Structure 1
Amino acid sequence: MQLRHQIVALAIGPLVLVILVVTAFITWQSSTLARSSIDTFERNMLKAKETELLNLTNLALSAIKDVYQSAGADDDAAKERVRQILTSLDYGEDGYFFVYDYDGNNVVHPRQAFRPGHNWYNLVDPDGDKVIANLIIKAKEGGGLHQYKWEKPSSGEMADKLSFAAGLDKWRWMIGTGVYLDDVFVQTASAKADLRRSIGDTFLIVALIAVPAVLLVFATCMWITLHERRMADGKLKLLTQRIIDTQEEERARLARELHDGISQNLVGVRYAFDLASRKVKGGSGDAALAIDRGIEALNDAIKEVRDLSHELRPRLLDDLGLTAALTSLAEHFSERTGIGVSVESTAAQTLAPEANTALYRIAQEALTNVERHSGASHVHVRIWSTKGRVRMSISDDGTGFGNNRGETKAPAGGLGLRNMQERMAHFRGILLVNSSAEGTILTAMMPRSANLDSIAVDAA
């Protein structure tokens, strides 16, 4: 997986996961709350029905109270009077009172004329419930509620019914009335349908928010990735061009050194030995003088080659370390330019070879800038260590490159300074430049990870 794909995955993956978790939680919480509300509503409706049944039963018992209390156990006239009263006490289209004796024989049923005079003790509803037997049991227990299925008079269809049964023990009668619960269940079903619609709306709202958010994050990540990639490509092109330019400058410098120095000296050596050869062949006595001049020119050429080799890669850096290499660099610089250079080192040799090379090149570039731009008469190079971190400062007493307000600017072109900064950035180090009219102080700070022991631990 490429880096930009990893970035997109890391950005979108957690977002999608959070959206799914939040959506699931909201849905669960909404569903739980709605079901709780529906259950509460259904319980309240049933409670209201129960209260209504108790009130109706008390009303019926109050209507027959005088007749029942004054009658005997076998008073057929009183029983007939009670039958008439209960038959006339129907209420609404589906509301009525019914009476069965304890053996299951129907005594009163205003809505189903075929039931009186017949025994219905073993009658069962579509769910297998023994309706009459259970109602008689409730009546014998002192009164109670029972739910079952019964034909609804207004529609002729089976529906859930809740009845309250009470006992007239003197006559061994069970008197009861009931209410149908289909209206309760219709309202409950409507509430559940509303719940499903609400959940669907919740999902829709979350989708309308989440999908654009995911697309926005995806588009933002892609834009950032492409933007960073374009910037990286641009920087890479600039770095590549800068490397090519630096290589060409170095090649041009080497070509000038070879042409103006070594090549001229070697040409002089050839002319000197040609002259000595002609004098020897001609029997002249001053041939030795021509040979001495040729040897002197050859020594100059050897010195030029040694100096050039030292600039490219000093052997002292590999053999004796950074301090010795910087001391040698300072001596050659002073000899060539006449600018005094002092080297002070209190740091142990703890840096890795690559870090030593980076500091050496930084010092080499800094001395070159001093020679070209500062007009300084003295340079001080100091190397020390703080908490295991090697530091190097190069200070001069030149004019610096700040303006009159003390602001710091890079010298024209700035290629040398950028090269030094990139060398330090490679080791995650810091390069500080403080320039003023009194001079310039350049400080290179290596991190602890540039030490030999840190690199050894990383390699292990």
Structure 2
Amino acid sequence: MLYRTKLLLLTLIPILAISFATLWVLDLQSERLSARQSETLENMILASRKEELRNYLSLAENAIAPAYNSFLKTRRIAQAEAKAILRGMSASEDQYFYVYDSTGTTIVDPRLSFMQGKNWIGLENINGRPVIKELIEAAKTGQDFYTYTWQKPSTKEYLPKLTHAKYFERWDWIIGTGIYLDDIDQQIDVQRGVMQNSFNRSRTTIAFLALAALSATTLTMWVFQFTQQRMADAQLRRLNARLVDVQESLSKRLSQELHDGLSQLLVSARYGLEAVLGGSSDKKIEATTTSAMDTIDTAIKEVRRISLGLRPTVLDDIGLAAAIRGLGKEFEANMSIPTAVTTMPVGDLLSDRAKTALYRIAQEALTNIAKHAVAHSASIDLSTNRRFVRLVIEDDGKGLTQARPRARTQGLGLRNMQERIDSFGGKIKITSRIDAGVTIDVLMPISQNTQEE
């Protein structure tokens, strides 16, 4: 894995982890808060409904109080008046008053009239609870409220019902009323929906912020890496240029020392041997001296060849165009490969460093042709315009193949050609055609390299 990929992952993973953890905590807290609010709301509604039932029962008690407390009427007449009053006080189809005696006999039930006059003490609801018996016991023991499942008259559904009853001891009556609780669940569901929508908006906001943070971080890292990469590339080009300058400087000094020092010593030694040969008539000495002179001639040629390879003096003496022509002729003579050379004078359009770079590229290209191309011909073209000096080297060999990876990096190599030309802001294009040769096209800009030292 690349370093920048690792850095990006190390930056993004904590953001993702925090975002997921935040969403998880939000879900957990939302469930807890929803449960608490639902419970609170339910308790508030129940408290309101209980107060409502107390008020209803208080109204009923006040309404029948004249009859219940009267000593002027017979019990039968007073109870008949109370029954009529209670039947007429129904607030709605589902809100009414009922009356039982302590034995479980129905005295008043405006909705289930068939139950009146009958004893239902053993009646059980759908849950198996003896609701009439429990309701009577709750009223007689002073328990304010009692909850059970009962059929709702308006819908015929069996729903939870909250009832409030009171025991009237003189008449042995249990008078009560109730409210069905299904609307409480509806209100709670509505409140839960509102909260859920709020939590969903919060989740969306957090997810959007997390995505924005990831995008911003990725963009920042990309810009940072791109900037750092450009800075590193620029520094690398400067370093490569400096290394090339140092290499050329060392090569020039070594070339001069070989030419001015060792070459001169060899020439002096040869002259001394010629003097010895001219003054001696001994055949043995003559043969030995002649052999030594041949060896020295070979050494002088080798020194000159090495010196020329290290630093072509023709660049300093007669310029780049002449040096390129000489390089082409030498290549043709040594390799017996016909080489067409076309050059235009460069003059002061390029600095010495830029000229040396072009010469080295041409030198390396010809070396690669000689070693790897199996070419029948080659060509070199050096031309200029107002913006560039252009160098094109072509051959008709077998081209670059994946089977010869090292051939690309011999000496300076193709990559080093690229790095060398990059240090001057130039461009190099290498085109390979299988069994049709290679073309190296180099553009050296004039504006950046004129008199650059």
TM value normalised by structure 1:
0.55
Following the alignment from structure 1 to structure 2, what is the Cα–Cα distance between the partners of residues 58 and 41?
25
- Does the C-alpha gap of structure 1 residues 69 and 261 become closer, same or farther in structure 2, counting only changes over 3 Å? same
- In structure 2, distance between residues paired with 1:115 and 1:201: 54
Q: Do the aligned partners of residues 242 and 140 (structure 1) sit closer, same or farther apart at CA in structure 2, a change above 3 Å counting?
A: same
Q: 1:44 is aligned with what amino acid?
A: M
Partner of 2:39: 39
Match of 1:114, SS state, is helix
Q: Tell me the residue number matched to 2:55.
A: 55
Q: How many angstroms apart in 2 are the aligned matches of 1:103 and 1:209?
A: 69
Q: Map residues 44-443 of structure 1 onto 2, 5 A cutoff.
A: 44-69=44-69, 75-272=75-272, 274-275=274-275
Check the 8 A contact 2:19/2:207 in 1, yes or no: no
4+ runs deviating over 6 angstroms: none
**What do the CA deviations read for 1:141-168 (whole angstroms, capped 9, x no partner)?**
1132112222223333333221112112
Which deviates the most, 103-112 or 89-98?
Answer: 89-98
Please report how far the alpha carbon of residue 28 of structure 1 lies from its aligned counterpart in structure 2 after TM superposition: 4.0
Please tell me whether the aligned partners of residues 105 and 120 of structure 2 are also in contact (alpha carbons under 8 angstroms): yes
The structure with higher relative contact order (CA 8 Å, sep 6+) is 2
Structure 1 partner of 2:25: 25
Cα gap change, 1:260 to 1:122, in 2 (>3 Å): farther
Name the CA distance, whole Å, in 2 between partners of 1:181 and 1:209: 42
Q: What amino acid sits opposite 1:118 in the alignment?
A: K
Where do 5+ consecutive residues of structure 1 fail to align? 283-460
Q: Distance in 2 between matches of 1:125 and 1:80?
A: 29
Query: What's the secondary structure of 1:54's corresponding residue?
Result: helix
Question: Following TM superposition, by how much is the alpha carbon of 1:8 offset from its aligned partner in structure 2, in angstroms?
Answer: 1.5
Aligned partners of 1:129 and 1:3: how far apart in 2?
Answer: 73
Determine the C-alpha separation between the residues in 1 that align with 2:210 and 2:100: 65
Q: Note if contact 1:165-1:177 (Cα within 8 Å) is conserved in structure 2.
A: yes
- Deviates further, 42-51 or 74-83: 74-83
Q: Distance in 1 between matches of 2:195 and 2:129?
A: 32
The answer on whether the counterparts of 2:101 and 2:107 sit within 8 Å (CA) in structure 1 is: yes
d(CA) in 2 for partners of 1:195, 1:16? 26
- What CA distance in whole angstroms lies between the structure 1 residues aligned with 2:152 and 2:32? 34
Percent identity over the alignment is 33
- Cα deviation for residue 176 of structure 1 reads 0.9
* DSSP-derived class of the 1:117 partner: coil
Q: Report if aligned partners of 1:31, 1:199 keep a CA contact under 8 Å in 2.
A: no
Q: CA 1:125/1:200 → structure 2, altered by over 3 Å: closer, same or farther? A: farther
Shift of 1:2: 0.8
Q: Counterpart of 1:401?
A: none
Question: 1:342 aligns to what?
Answer: none
The CA deviation at 1:70 is 5.2
Secondary structure in 2 matching 1:222: helix
Instruction: Tell me, yes or no, if the aligned pair for 1:149 and 1:158 is still in contact at 8 Å.
Output: yes
- Cα distance change on mapping 1:247 and 1:131 into 2, 3 Å: same
Judged with a 3 Å threshold, the aligned counterparts in structure 2 of structure 1 residues 98 and 204 are, in CA distance, closer, same or farther, namely: same
CA–CA distance in 2 between the matches of 1:263 and 1:71?
155
Q: 1:122 to 1:230 in 2, by over 3 A?
A: farther
Once residues 156 and 71 of structure 2 are traced to their aligned partners in structure 1, the CA distance between those partners, rounded to angstroms, is: 37
In structure 2, C-alpha distance between the alignment counterparts of 1:184 and 1:29, rounded to whole Å: 24
**For the structure 1 residues 117 and 44, does the alpha-carbon distance in structure 2 shift closer, same or farther, using more than 3 Å as the test?**
same
CA contact 1:143–1:167 (8 Å) conserved in 2: no
Amino acid at match of 1:23: L
CA RMSD in angstroms comes to 2.8
Matched with 1:298 is none
